[in-house]
Amino acid sequence: MSAAASGGIGKAGAAFFSSLCVSTFGLGCWQSIRYFEKIEQMEQREKELAMEPQELENNAKCSLEEIQPSDQQSVLEKSEKDGNNGAYGNRGHRPLVVSGKFRYEDELLVGPRGPPLGALSATGPNSGRSGGGMASSPQGYYLITPLVRNKDNGTVLVNRGWVPRSYIQGKLPWRRPTGNVSIVGVASKTEVPRFMSPPHNEKEPNQLLWMDRAAIESKTKTDGQSPLLMTETVGDNQKVDDMAPFKPSLSSAGEFKVTTTTHAGYAATWFGLSGAGIIMTRKLITRGR
C-alpha cells in the first residue's frame, strides 16, 4: 500500500474516531446533567410527599399539558368562568384526599405492565425497579376507575393499583370497596402518544395498552370533563397483603424508574468510550512517525 493511501486511511480513521469521541463525550455530559437534575427533582418530591394530605379542590381537572392544543384556550376560559383558576395548576406530589363512590361498571385495565415500584416487595424481581430485572418482572394491569365525588364535585379517575395477569386470565375477583370511600393519593398524568405507540386492541373494549387520555375519557364516560387522574397509595407503614389490587406506598409513588445510579453508570460508560476513542485517535495520528 502506498504512503498516500495509508495516509488517506489514517486521516479518515482519525476523523471517524474524533467524531465518536465528541459524540460520546456529549452523551456523557448529558447524562451528568440528568444526574444532578434528578437529584433536585427527588429532593423536591420528598418535600412534597412529606406534607400533610390536602383535600382535593372542587371539580378538579387534569393539567393543561394533557389537553390538545386546540382545546386549551376554551378549557382555560371555562375554568376561569367557573371560578376554578387553580384547577389546572401543578399539584406536584403533595398527597391528596378525595371522597366519593367508585363507578366500577366503567373500570378499565391498562397494560400489560410491571407492578408499581415497591408495591410487591422492596427489592428483587417483584419490586418493579430496574434493578429487579425487567425480564423476570411479573406482568399485570393497572385499574383505572372513575370516582364520583360527593356534593356534585365532579368525577376523578383513580389508578387503584395493579392486578397480576393471572387474575385477568383466571377471572379472579379483586377488592372493590362499595359505598362512600375516602382515598389518599397523588396527582398523575396520562401518557403522550409517540410515533411507535401501538393501537389499542378493539377486541378488548375494557383494556388499553397505554394511558391514552382520549380513550380513557371515552370509555369511562367522562368525555370533555378532563378529569384529574390520581394514583391511590397506601401508608409507608402499612403491611402489604396478598389481595389485589396492589398499590404503591406514598413514598415510592414519588420514585423515578430511572435512578440517579443509572444516570451515573451511563455517564461513566460514555466518558469511558470517549477516553478510549481519544487513545485510538491519537494512535492513528501518530502511527508511522
Virtual torsion, Cα 128, 129, 132, 138, nearest 10 deg: 20
What type of residue sits at position 203? K
Conformational region of residue 100, where left means phi above 0, alpha means psi within -120 to 50, and beta covers everything else: left
Cα separation, 232 vs 188, in Å, equals 10
What was the pLDDT predicted at 121? 62
What was the pLDDT predicted at 270? 86
Which H helix or E strand runs over 164? strand 155-164
Exposed (0-12), middle (13-18) or buried (19+): which is 112, by Cβ within 10 Å? middle
Say whether 98 sits in a helix, a strand or coil: strand
What type of residue sits at position 78? K
Strands 229-232 and 181-188: antiparallel
Among 160, 165, 136, which Cα is nearest to 147's?
A: 160
Q: How far is CA 272 from CA 13, 16, 223, in A?
A: 19, 17, 51
What was the pLDDT predicted at 100? 93
What type of residue sits at position 66? E
What was the pLDDT predicted at 87? 44
Tens digits of residue pLDDT in 82-98? 434 344 556 788 899 99
Exposed (0-12), middle (13-18) or buried (19+): which is 203, by Cβ within 10 Å? exposed
Say whether 154 sits in a helix, a strand or coil: coil
Cell 406482568 appears where? 139
Tens digits of residue pLDDT in 97-130? 999 999 999 999 998 988 887 666 666 666 565 5
Exposed (0-12), middle (13-18) or buried (19+): which is 90, by Cβ within 10 Å? exposed
CA end-to-end span of the chain: 17
Among 221, 231, 238, 246, which Cα is nearest to 141's?
A: 246
What was the pLDDT predicted at 68? 54
Say whether 122 sits in a helix, a strand or coil: coil
Give me the residues of the chain with pLDDT under 70, please.
1-11, 13-14, 65, 67-90, 118-136, 236-242, 254-257, 284, 287-289
Say whether 103 sits in a helix, a strand or coil: coil
pTM beyond 0.75? no
What was the pLDDT predicted at 110? 93
Longest dimension (CA), the chain: 88
**What is the Cβ-side half-sphere exposure of residue 238, based on CA atoms within 13 angstroms?**
17
